[in-house]
């Protein structure tokens, strides 16, 4: 029984402690939440204060720059003030000198005034002369104004003529430029034709030199063949003479065919040579004609006609 009450009492104490601890935990949780909110608020305030501090630092830098500029301006203004003070001092000195000079001039004017007052008659005469001179100057001014108006009209007419001349000159310049461009194009075309003609002439010269070399080589070959044939004929004649000595009958039987053979060789050689020479002469005449045609392109005909330089070589 005692144990039961003791256990019961222990359980009551535990419950009370649990309740107490629960309440304390709840209070601590609440305080922790409050502290977290306060920390967040403090962080926000710290961030805002940091931003304000940066803004104030920027403003302070700007203010320092402004202060430096103001100091520069202050020094500049002090320099200006000092310069102005020097100028004022100089002006005061000049004013004092001018005042002294004006005093002297005033004394001179007073003396002259006294002298002029003593000679009123002369002054009246001078006034009349000045009035007359004023009238003359007024008339002269009117005449000059009339002349100036006429000169202005002449100048306007000259300006109009100058504008017309300028426009005409521009038109002539544009026309001359157009004509020059056309002449340049014609010159370029003529140069192109002349270049093509020169190229044709060079090509024909090369062909002529080539054919001359061919003809020369062919003639050399013909002469060599002719010499070889002559030597062969001489050799055959020697053989015929030897055969005549050995046997007259055999010589008579062999002479006819041999002479026929020799005559055939001799007849064939001139005909073959004459045919080849005729072909070569034809080629030479052909190239000579082409050369003459090309040469005639550089010289006008009696009728004033010029051979077309664009004709291509064969």
Q: Is residue 9 part of a domain?
A: yes
Q: How far apart are CA 33 and CA 41, in angstroms?
A: 12
- Percent of the chain scored above 90 by pLDDT? 3
Report pLDDT for 294: 60
- Is residue 93 one of the residues assigned to a domain? yes
- What are the φ/ψ torsions at residue 308 (nearest 5 degrees)? -65, 125
29 within domain boundaries = yes
SS3 string of the chain?
CHHHHHHHHHHHHHHHHHHHHHHHHHHHHHHHHHHHHHHHHHHHHHHHHHHHHHHHHHHHHHHHHHHHHHHHHHHHHHHHHHHHHHHHHHHHHHHHHHHHHHHHHHHHHHHHHHHHHHCHHHHHHHHHHHHHHHHHHHHHHHHHHHHHHHHHHHHHHHHHHHHHHHHHHHHHHHHHHHHHHHHHHHHHHHHHHHHHHHHHHHHHHHHHHHHHHHHHHHHHHHHHHHHHHHHHHHHHHHHHHHHHHHCHHHHHHHHHHHHHHHHHHHHHHHHHHHHHHHHHHHHHHHHHHHHHHHHHCCCCCCCCCCCCCCCCCC
Residue 244 lies in a domain: no
Give domain status of residue 267, yes or no: no
Position 187 in a domain: no
Instruction: Quote the pTM value.
Output: 0.28
Does some domain include residue 65? Answer: yes
More confident residue, 297 or 311: 297
pLDDT digits (tens, 9 = 90+) for 188-226: 888 888 888 888 888 888 888 888 888 888 888 878 877
Q: Which domain holds residue 76?
A: 2-118
Give pLDDT, residue 168. Answer: 87
274 pLDDT above the threshold of 60: no
Q: How much is the pLDDT for 226?
A: 76
**248 lies in a domain?**
no
Q: What is the count of structural domains for the chain?
A: 1
Summarize pLDDT for 92-113 with one digit per residue, the tens: 888 888 888 888 888 888 888 7
At 30 the pLDDT is: 92
């Amino acid at each position: 029984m005692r144990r039961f009450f003791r256990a019961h009492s222990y359980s009551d104490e535990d419950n009370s402690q649990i309740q107490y601890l629960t309440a304390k935990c709840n209070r601590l949780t609440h305080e922790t939440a409050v502290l977290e909110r306060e920390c967040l608020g403090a962080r926000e305030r710290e961030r805002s204060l940091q931003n304000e501090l940066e803004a104030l630092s920027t403003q302070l830098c700007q203010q320092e720059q402004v202060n430096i500029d103001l100091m520069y301006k202050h020094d500049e203004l002090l320099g200006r003030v000092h310069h102005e003070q020097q100028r004022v001092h100089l002006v005061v000195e000049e004013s004092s000198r001018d005042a002294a000079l004006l005093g002297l001039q005033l004394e001179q004017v007073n003396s002259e005034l006294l002298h002029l007052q003593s000679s009123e008659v002369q002054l009246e005469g001078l006034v009349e002369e000045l009035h007359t001179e004023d009238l003359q100057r007024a008339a002269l001014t009117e005449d000059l104004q009339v002349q100036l108006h006429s000169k202005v009209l002449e100048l306007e007419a000259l300006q109009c003529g100058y504008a017309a001349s300028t426009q005409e000159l521009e038109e002539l310049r544009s026309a001359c430029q157009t004509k020059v461009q056309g002449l340049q194009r014609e010159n370029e075309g003529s140069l192109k034709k002349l270049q093509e003609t020169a190229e044709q002439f060079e090509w024909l010269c090369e062909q002529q030199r080539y054919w001359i070399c061919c003809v020369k080589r062919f003639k050399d070959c013909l002469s060599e063949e002719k010499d070889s044939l002559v030597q062969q004929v001489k050799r055959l004649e020697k053989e015929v003479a030897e055969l005549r000595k050995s046997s007259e009958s055999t010589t008579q039987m062999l002479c006819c065919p041999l002479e026929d053979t020799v005559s055939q060789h001799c007849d064939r050689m001139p005909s073959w040579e004459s045919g080849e020479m005729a072909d070569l002469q034809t080629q030479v005449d052909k190239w000579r004609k082409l050369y003459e045609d090309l040469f005639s392109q550089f010289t006008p005909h009696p009728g004033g006609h010029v051979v077309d330089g664009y004709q291509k070589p064969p």
